[in-house]
Structure 1
Amino acid sequence: MSTSTEHPRIATVRTFLVAPDPNKSDADRPGYWLYNQEISNPMSKYAKYKDNRDSWGVDVLKTFCVEIEASDGTVGFAIGHGGFVGCFLTEEHFKRFLIDADPRDTNMIWDQMYRGSQHYGRRGITMMIISVIDLALWDLLGKIRGEPVYKLIGGQTKEHLIAYCTGPNPDLAKQQGYWGNKVPLPYSPTEPDSLQKNYDVLANHRKKGGRGFPIMVDCYMSLNISYAIKLITKCADLEIEWWEEVLSPDDTEGYVLLKQALPQIRWATGEHEYTRYGFRKLVEGRLLDVLQPDIQWCGGLTELLRISTHAAAYDVDVIPHGTSHYTVHFCMSQPNSSLIEYVAYSPDGKSVGPVYGDFFVKEPLPTDGIVKSEEFNKPGFGLEISPHVKLLPARDFLKPYLDVFGK
């Protein structure tokens, strides 16, 4: 922590890829079940790619890491999605908005990164990269101030966080103390007799969870309006808590029609939406009951706070997508975040685990479905990289390109 009267400024930005662990097989991968099961998805209509998400490259970019060092030696760190592309854009483009900046100026830095990249991307991978940089900035700022991030963005709004589980076993989630369980919809509208088959699977989930235990259904952008109405009407007796990502994220008008047709249903989406601009119509049109931005995709913590503030004005719950220790700090600070999601990231899907496996040392996880605030009271995001992790400096593998085209 700095003792100087002048606040530290950003001195260095570094990026890394994570070296694969040669001692682990693909079956050891966190969430192995999630990537290798039949799930209704946008590619289901193509027989070659319908069986699992890995087949069509859903995670081909892998992760990358950003390290931001201040002039006093304090280092902020974050991990997220973007792989080689994330390293390149951070090193060769976004770094210009960071060096010598005051890390407290998160709004200005975010705005410069966003405006400075609009000519090649306002969503998708560009926003994922900005998200990782933004999270590293907040980690740095918390460490400089000696406070956990949630204390910097409004402080504590609840005694603890209530978690729900995303996984294939509602009975296990219930036994483990989770508030509810979210399950994937297995069959797409293009498959024969999928309406009945989907009903049968969901009815079995309801049987395993029992009446009164919340069950949510993730449709993963795979349905159309007429099929969704038929399926949800057919499943009325199953008491589904909410239906998630029923339509393509670009079909805002479709959600208008769904809300009109089935106003009693709780609708959720937002995992594949980006920035406050993308969420504006969803919120102002009162099309959703649950908003699900991903802190590592939507623009980072800085932008997620703006999305949440807008949603709060319409009394919309913000329950971010995905397991993330970054999300813990957000949810603790926001009155309109009633739940937090944890994915069953054990390879077999039987228990919750961290999304990056053993990348971090002792990353806090829920106990009996509860996340206690005292478990994330270290400065910044409170994450420490495991000593066995090998990070590959981006400058090393970017060098051949930079020797030809760079500086």
Structure 2
Amino acid sequence: MKITNIRFRELTGTTTYPEDYWQERQAMPLDIYPEFKALSGPQLYRMWKFIGEGDEQWVKSIFLEIETDEGITGIAGPINWTIPCVYIEGPLKAFLIGKDPLAIERIWDQMYRASAHGRKGGYNMHAISYVDAALWDIKGKALGQPVHRLLGGPVQDRIPAYVSALGYSLEPEKAYEKVKEFRADGYTATKWFIRNGPTDGPKGERETVELVKALREAAGPDMKIMLDCWSTWDVPYTLRMARLLEEFDPYWIEEPVITERRDSYARLRRESPVRIAGGEHEFTRWGARRMMEAGTCDFYQMDTLWAGGISETMKIYTLASVYDVPLIPHGASTHINGHVSFAQNATMAPMMEYLQSVKAMTHHFLQHQYVPIDGYFYPLDVPGLGMDIDESKIESERELSWL
């Protein structure tokens, strides 16, 4: 089998969503500047191309397809940014056309070695990750097996989902009702995205406390509550907020500081009364090792479509087992996370993230809608990754090229 072509399909369609989209957004490091703090979710997340009013939403997504001479096509996506596509079509294409798609490790190593200006991470590593995922999709389809079986799974029968509330209102009353809804749907854990940070003063602190209080009241004593700060806090603020929030028993505080500040992470892990999670913006086994050697986190969250793909995430899992820490991949791709997670035991992969509102859009064009059942994920039972396109949902499309 040989790779004959790569292409990028930009698909457009419409879907329905039962409530306002992007009621609120997460905090971002740029929010220390007032002009960025004022931006809404729709203004910031235009790269996801969710546009509409009321129930109807216009969706646009880009998928990578790698074609072979045996009629098997590997699919990865949707790709949120066009920059990785440019890397794939440009410098990475030479390592694909005419090559054996089942020689995944060889192709990964060649792409990595050729990426002199992108080995440590960033969009170039995103590009390598998408290619790697599409190659695993080809391998699974060629062998007639779900990818998790090729990785040694399934090790678990089911994995608890934690439902991430990105996009939902942070008004305490509305958040309370949403958590009650999550509980009724069988979820045992939920993550919320904090909007306030050090520049918001005492008022922001009070708003965060009131939000987390409402979350705990709705969740009851047993449901896990996680808080995502998305690299917008600092060490003194995180320690202060951790002590203010301790009585509500948050399960972790995620990405309180920028990933590169490993000393700050290590200090927080030592001194915070709340567990620390992070790593979604770290890349490759080498970046993961630096974080783990420094003892930065209680939970690691490298993203399968950012950190190097399925091949690299499996290596990062091996590292995590050496350091005896769990890895719960960030939820850019639920399908791909499912395959790598079901190849791990329950101590290494104790949960999976489900970005509920986001996936309602990013999964729109997929035949297999991989969603939790009564709060749990189960292994996908289709050849490959299960990311084949539902052609009936495409209202228009075009093939993209940047060369």
Shorter-chain TM-score above 0.5: yes
> 5 Å matches for 1:230-309?
230-262=240-272, 264-309=273-318
Aligned partner (choices 91, 105, 113) of residue 107 of structure 1: 105
Could you list the per-position Cα deviations for residues 216-255 of structure 1 after superposition, in whole angstroms to 9, with x for gaps in the alignment?
Answer: 0001110000000000011110001111011111111101
Q: 1:40 to 1:86 in 2, by over 3 A?
A: closer
**Would you say the 8 A contact 2:255–2:277 is kept in 1?**
yes
1:97 aligns with 95
Could you list the per-position Cα deviations for residues 159-200 of structure 1 after superposition, in whole angstroms to 9, with x for gaps in the alignment?
Answer: 112111111422211111012111111212101322222111
Give the drift of 1:65. 2.0
Output the amino acid matched with 2:389. Answer: I
2:33 aligns with 46
Output the amino acid matched with 1:13. Answer: N
Output the amino acid matched with 2:385. Answer: F
Give the drift of 1:119. 2.5
What is the alpha-carbon distance in structure 2 between the residues aligned to residue 301 and residue 267 of structure 1? 25
**Larger deviation, residues 111-120 vs 56-65:** 56-65
2:53 aligns with none
SS at match of 1:177: coil
For the pair 1:20 / 2:18, whether they are aligned, the reply is no
Give the drift of 1:59. 3.3
1:405 aligns with none
Q: 1:300 to 1:42 in 2, by over 3 A?
A: same
**Would you say the 8 A contact 2:48–2:61 is kept in 1?**
no
**Would you say the 8 A contact 2:269–2:298 is kept in 1?**
no
Q: 1:305 to 1:30 in 2, by over 3 A?
A: farther
1:163 aligns with 161
Which runs of 5 or more structure 2 residues have no equivalent in the other structure? 50-59, 169-177
What is the alpha-carbon distance in structure 2 between the residues aligned to residue 93 and residue 30 of structure 1? 42
Output the amino acid matched with 2:31. Answer: S
> 5 Å matches for 1:291-330?
291-322=300-331, 323-330=333-340
What is the alpha-carbon distance in structure 1 between the residues aligned to residue 20 and residue 299 of structure 2? 27
**Would you say the 8 A contact 1:15–1:90 is kept in 2?**
no
**Would you say the 8 A contact 1:134–1:300 is kept in 2?**
yes
1:380 aligns with 384
SS at match of 1:360: coil
Could you list the per-position Cα deviations for residues 39-74 of structure 1 after superposition, in whole angstroms to 9, with x for gaps in the alignment?
Answer: 332122122221435545673798532212222221
What is the alpha-carbon distance in structure 1 between the residues aligned to residue 26 and residue 318 of structure 2? 33
SS at match of 1:318: coil
SS at match of 2:159: strand
Output the amino acid matched with 1:258. Answer: L
1:349 aligns with none
SS at match of 1:44: helix
Which runs of 5 or more structure 1 residues have no equivalent in the other structure? 1-7, 347-352, 403-407
The count of corresponding residues between Structure 1 and Structure 2 is 375
What is the alpha-carbon distance in structure 2 between the residues aligned to residue 112 and residue 181 of structure 1? 40
**Would you say the 8 A contact 1:38–1:187 is kept in 2?**
no
What is the alpha-carbon distance in structure 1 between the residues aligned to residue 139 and residue 94 of structure 2? 19
SS at match of 2:188: coil
SS at match of 1:393: strand
Output the amino acid matched with 1:365. Answer: V
Q: 1:73 to 1:30 in 2, by over 3 A?
A: farther
What is the alpha-carbon distance in structure 2 between the residues aligned to residue 32 and residue 392 of structure 1? 29
Q: 1:278 to 1:118 in 2, by over 3 A?
A: same
Normalised to the residue count of structure 1, the TM-score between the two structures is 0.86
Identity of aligned residues (%): 29
SS at match of 2:290: helix
Output the amino acid matched with 1:9. Answer: K
SS at match of 2:339: helix
Output the amino acid matched with 2:210. Answer: D
Q: 1:249 to 1:59 in 2, by over 3 A?
A: farther
What is the alpha-carbon distance in structure 1 between the residues aligned to residue 79 and residue 17 of structure 2? 16
Could you list the per-position Cα deviations for residues 310-334 of structure 1 after superposition, in whole angstroms to 9, with x for gaps in the alignment?
Answer: 0011111111111521111111111
Q: 1:129 to 1:391 in 2, by over 3 A?
A: farther
What is the alpha-carbon distance in structure 2 between the residues aligned to residue 383 and residue 39 of structure 1? 28
What is the alpha-carbon distance in structure 1 between the residues aligned to residue 33 and residue 99 of structure 2? 48
What is the alpha-carbon distance in structure 2 between the residues aligned to residue 132 and residue 140 of structure 1? 13
1:184 aligns with 193
SS at match of 2:47: coil
Output the amino acid matched with 1:44. Answer: D
2:351 aligns with 339
2:57 aligns with none
Q: What is the Cα-based RMSD across aligned positions, in Å?
A: 2.3
Output the amino acid matched with 1:160. Answer: R
Aligned partner (choices 28, 37, 48) of residue 24 of structure 2: 37
